[in-house]
A and B are shown apart, each in its own frame.
Chain A
Amino acid sequence: MHIPDGYLSPATSVTLYSMCVPFMAKASKETKRKLNDKTVPLISLFSALSFVIMMFNVPLPGGTTGHAVGATITAIVLGPWIAMLSLTVALVIQALFFGDGGILALGANVFNMVIVMTLSGYFIYQILDRWSKTLVKRKVIFSAVAGYISINLAALCTAVELGIQPLLFHNNLGQSLYFPYGLNVSIPSMLIGHLTIAGFAEALVTGLILSWIYKTNPGIMTSNMNSVEKNYPIVKWGLIALGVLVILSPLGLLAPGTAWGEWGRIELEKLGLGYIPQGFDKWSNFWKAPLSQYNLPQSGNPTIGYMFSGFIGVFMTILVLSGTFWIMRRLSKNNILKVSKKPGKST
């Protein structure tokens, strides 16, 4: 899953670098709080371990072999923040010294394989762990499931980053400058490989290591290293991620063309479509949006209009989401948000 240099445009690379920054800042703050002056030796040693795990060839059912990332198991045992730092250092060394993955693309690789995998792996495991009832066998199975899902989420992110390249970056002759395939090719081809091979490698490594740790060294699971702070503010972090996206959204102004599948009538004609489907005219006039074309009716400046529409859109989304959560909370006593309030129970 390591993206080499040359696949992503510098604009995408810089965007992904900046998306990593808040997570890295949070991770180093949390790690320092938890480990104090043990930070340096512990992170170093577990980075080295992550590096070795990534090198390992895992024999899979059916005779093939695959490589695992090992992000999920590290996150389950050490907590997402320590795991995040360790894996990042391992990836940096791989990129700088062993030429595995690009240097401009490092931000993308860290985002996919470290941030997405550790956070998703850890929280999926924590949610499933409520049903494990301290049975080790169940914990092992749940950890394997978390590993399988998290590596596929990472693969999906990679596919999306690659797939948007031909859409955004091509020269005036229509030749794509970076990765040549669109989302319709990149997503299936990435996911087929990961749903069938790499997913099982990750699941196997996660489950087997966890079962071994429970057999030989269960102390590490109760050492509180893997607990995250109480009242873990998942909502706050979601909002920060959203904020980053809002700040980055002016990048959309740089992108020529329209999002795939979101054409209006005029764009459809421009695309060379000889006829316009009959239903199109009927339905496109059905609802006139107040901020049509992401522009304010009165303001003459399209950039301000675009940004303003963006903020309105985000505001509306937050309003609708919080309304939905409020209703969900009211409806069920066992609401899902409770999970985030008591993580870290590890036995």
Chain B
Amino acid sequence: MSFLEQNLHHITETLQNTLYVEHITKLPGLIQHLDPRTRIICFCLLLMSVNLSKNIVFILSVYVFLLLLAYASQIPLKFFIMRVWMFLPFFTGIIALPAIFNVFTPGNALLTLINLPNYHLYISITQNGVFSAAYLLTRVATSVSSAILLVLTTDWIQLLKSLERLHVPKMFIIVSLITYRYIFVLLKTTNNMLLSRKSRMIGKPQNQTHRWWIGGTLGTLFNKTQTLSEDVYKAMRSRGYANQIIILSDFHYQFVDYVAIGVTFTLIVMLYFIWN
């Protein structure tokens, strides 16, 4: 695949994915019924507990809890699991794999692979190595799953509005909102530039040509962004923007929200005491 197609494919995939995620956030599931602030608080509790824990069984129990939550929220389980495990083996898996050998993690040998004392060559899989790799893999998988669960059930606007209610600076919220909108504008512009290039292309261009195109595309994008930011500024001013930010939101806690936070907290404490 040439670089044009690669980038086109990548950008289209991102756009498609975002649309699909937005579709899931509108489903009438368990988490979708909770106040977005509750979701963020529960998510933070789970993430912190997973990262502070020193017990693999605890981390795995949290993962099972996340799977149950995803099922109750009508998220297709296959999609939820694959979204983590499609990429994890290639990134974290490759990093974790060498750690199981005695070369990197010395310890009690579980399985001796090569033992040539004459050549001072001894390679084995060690107990400590397997545990070290398992810690990394389970921790990353569970952390990523919890983040994905939050994103799959909460759309970007809800997420930012509830962050603002949780006292994140307004400036940051408004910048993120506009950024999120213009990411798609710029992605679409880029897509069009690449597509128009591809549709006028005959034969196979050199790598060197590709690189000049990259410079041209990104450079043009830079200039366009500058013009666009002026336009956005003028549009904001003409609609009465005077450096003051007001964010409307109609969130209110219900009984079920307190229950959800309580249940999450108790579950973490219970799991902690069971497995320690």
The answer to whether the Cβ of A264 comes within 8 Å of any Cβ in the partner chain is: no
Instruction: Say if the beta carbon of A53 comes within 8 Å of chain B.
Output: yes
Contact indicator per residue, chain B 163-187, by CB within 8 Å of chain A (1) or not (0): 0000000011011101110110111
Q: Is B61 an interface residue (CB 8 A)?
A: no
Given contacts A36-B243, A37-B241, A45-B225, contact A99 B144 (CB under 8 A): yes
Are A4 and B180 CB-contacts (below 8 A) given A104-B47, A205-B214?
no
Q: Judge if B215 is at the interface, Cβ distance under 8 Å.
A: yes
- Of A130-138, A211-219, A317-325, which binds chain B? A211-219
Chain B at the A interface: mostly helix, strand, loop or mixed? helix
Q: Chain A residue with minimal CB distance to B234? A: A41
Chain B residues with CB below 8 A from A166, complex form: 132
Residues of chain A within 8 A of B207, CB atoms compared: 59, 61, 63
Interchain CA distance A177-B139 in the complex, whole Å:
9
Bitwise interface map of A from 184 to 208 toward B, beta carbon under 8 Å scored 1, else 0? 0100000000000000000011011
Among A10, A42, A97, A209, point to the contact of B222 (Cβ < 8 A).
A209
User: Which listed segment binds A: B2-10, B28-36, B65-73, B261-269?
Assistant: B2-10
Q: Which residue of A lies closest to B224 (CB)?
A: A49
Say which one of B48-56, B74-82, B117-125, B248-256 lies at the interface with A.
B48-56
- Point out which of A6, A39, A185, A217 has the most chain B C-beta atoms below 10 A from its C-beta: A6
Interface residues of A in 302-326 (CB under 8 A from B): none
Chain A residues whose CB sits within 8 angstroms of the CB of B233 once the complex forms: 37-38, 41-42
Question: Is A40's CB within 8 Å of the partner chain B?
Answer: yes
Instruction: Say yes or no: A97-B14 contact (C-beta < 8 A), given A10-B52, A49-B221, A89-B175.
Output: no
The reply to whether the CB of A57 lies closer than 8 angstroms to some CB of chain B is yes
Contact of A44 among B48, B133, B182, B237 (CB under 8 A): B182
Given A40-B236, A177-B54, decide whether A48 and B219 contact each other with a Cβ distance below 8 A: no
- In the complex with contacts A44-B178, A181-B104, A93-B183 CB distance below 8 A: yes
A294 within 8 Å of B by Cβ? Answer: no
CA–CA, A248 to B216, complex, Å?
Answer: 45
Contact partners of A173 in chain B: CB under 8 A: 128, 131
Instruction: Say yes or no: is B60 at the interface (Cβ < 8 Å to chain A).
Output: no
B93 within 8 A of A: no
The answer to whether A89 touches B172 (Cβ under 8 A) is yes
Rounded to whole angstroms, the CA-CA distance of A181 and B133 in the bound complex is: 10
One of B52, B99, B211 near A181 (C-beta < 8 A): B99
A239 contacts across to B, CB distance below 8 A: none
| CB–CB A208/B135 < 8 A | no
List chain A residues, Cβ under 8 A from B241.
Answer: 37, 40
Count of chain B residues with a beta carbon within 8 Å of a chain A beta carbon: 77
Residue in contact with B212 in the complex, picked from A49, A103, A208, CB distance below 8 Å:
A208
B222 contacts A185, C-beta separation under 8 Å? no
A1 at interface by CB-CB < 8 Å: no
Q: How many angstroms between the C-alpha atoms of A207 and B207 in the bound complex?
A: 16
A38 nearest CB neighbor, chain B only: B233
Cα(A9)–Cα(B159), bound, Å: 26
Residue from A9, A48, A57, A204 within 8 A of B179 (CB atoms): A48
Does A28 lie at the interface of the complex (its beta carbon under 8 Å from any beta carbon of B)? yes
Q: Is B64 an interface residue (CB 8 A)?
A: no
CB atoms of A5 and B128 under 8 A apart: no
Tell me, yes or no, whether B11 is within 8 Å of chain A by CB. yes
A99 to B179, CA, bound (A): 17
B103 to chain A, nearest CB (A): 10
Residues of chain B contacted by A42 (CB below 8 angstroms): 229, 233
- Contact present for B10 and A51 (CB under 8 Å): no
Complexed CA–CA distance, A63 and B156 (Å)? 37
Contact across chains for B179 and A51 when beta carbons are under 8 A apart:
yes
Knowing A40-B175, A47-B175 are in contact, say whether A176-B148 is a contact too (CB < 8 A): no
B207 to chain A, nearest CB (A): 5
User: Quick check: B107 and A174 within 8 Å, CB to CB?
Assistant: yes
Does any Cβ of A come within 8 Å of B199's Cβ?
Answer: no
Q: How close is A115's CB to chain B, nearest CB, in angstroms?
A: 17
| Residues of B115-149 contacting chain A, CB below 8 A | 128-129, 131-133, 135-136, 139-144, 147-148
A146 at the interface (CB under 8 A from B): no
* Known contacts A45-B232, A174-B128, A6 near B136 by CB under 8 Å: yes
* Residues on A facing B (Cβ under 8 Å): 4-7, 9-10, 13, 28, 36-49, 51-53, 55-59, 61, 63, 65, 77, 85, 89-90, 92-93, 95-99, 102-104, 166, 171, 173-181, 185, 204-205, 207-209, 211-213, 215-217, 220
A-B pairs with the 7 shortest C-beta distances? A212-B219, A208-B215, A5-B143, A44-B178, A6-B139, A6-B140, A45-B229
Known: A5-B51, A53-B218. 19 other contacts (CB 8 A): A6-B144, A10-B48, A36-B243, A40-B175, A40-B245, A44-B174, A44-B176, A48-B225, A52-B183, A52-B190, A55-B11, A56-B7, A56-B214, A57-B6, A103-B147, A175-B135, A185-B104, A212-B219, A213-B222
